[in-house]
Amino acid sequence: MLPALRTVSGSVLPSLLLEDWPFEQVVRNLNGGSNGATHLKFFPLDVAEYSDRYTLQMEVAGIRRENIDISFEDNSLSIQIERKAPSTQEEAKYLHRGRWFGSTIRTVSLPEAASGEEIEAHLKDGVLTIEVKKQPERQARKIEIKDLN
């Protein structure tokens, strides 16, 4: 038998699932009882910097392209994901429910060099890849001093 924790909704989570997130209960309480760490467990994200771009890769297995919204504002890239529960004709009493359904959003602050004008996103094999080009570095320019005469 595994030690377990109860979620706010009353379902039981084995504590082994939470070992990597010791403050899940605190986050849950701050989010009004919702599971604030949902995106951390189900949608891991990597952010890498290259000389000409930033690349974000997020695992989104089972999420359809039309259920992902990406926006960029004030150097923050937001990824909103929605997975609707399948509709069934018959009401079921679940003995265990391990799949996640609902909506979540991840927001990543990028450095000032990120260009909001050049962003591309691709979804392949359950991995969402977003490339944000860097703006060219601004070069100092010489200012000519003119005579007033």
- Encode the chain in three state secondary structure: CCCEEECCCCCEEEHHHHCCCCCHHHHHHHCCCCCCCHHHHHCCEEEEECCCEEEEEEECCCCCHHHEEEEEECCEEEEEEEECCCCCCCCCCCCCCCCCCEEEEEEEECCCCEEEEEEEEEEECCEEEEEEEECCCCCCCCCCCCCCC
CATH (residue range 38-87+98-135) = 2.60.40.790
pLDDT attached to residue 141: 87
Residue of 10, 4, 8 whose CA lies nearest to 94: 10
pTM listed for this prediction? 0.65
Tokens of 100: 């996640």
Residue of 72, 81, 76, 75 whose CA lies nearest to 128: 81
CA distance 78 to 72: 6
Q: From the first residue on, what is the mean pLDDT of each consecutive set of 10 residues in the chain (149 residues)?
A: 44 46 49 48 87 95 94 94 83 82 90 92 97 88 87
Residue of 63, 69, 72, 60 whose CA lies nearest to 108: 72
**Mean pLDDT for the chain overall:** 79
Check: CB of residue 4 under 8 Å from CB of residue 12.
Answer: yes
Query: What does the domain layout of the chain look like in residue ranges?
Result: 1-36, 38-87+98-135
Check: CB of residue 31 under 8 Å from CB of residue 6.
Answer: no
Residues 69-95 pLDDT 10s:
999 999 999 999 998 888 877 888 888
* Core vs surface per residue 20-32: b (16+ CB within 10 A) or e: eeeebeeebeeee
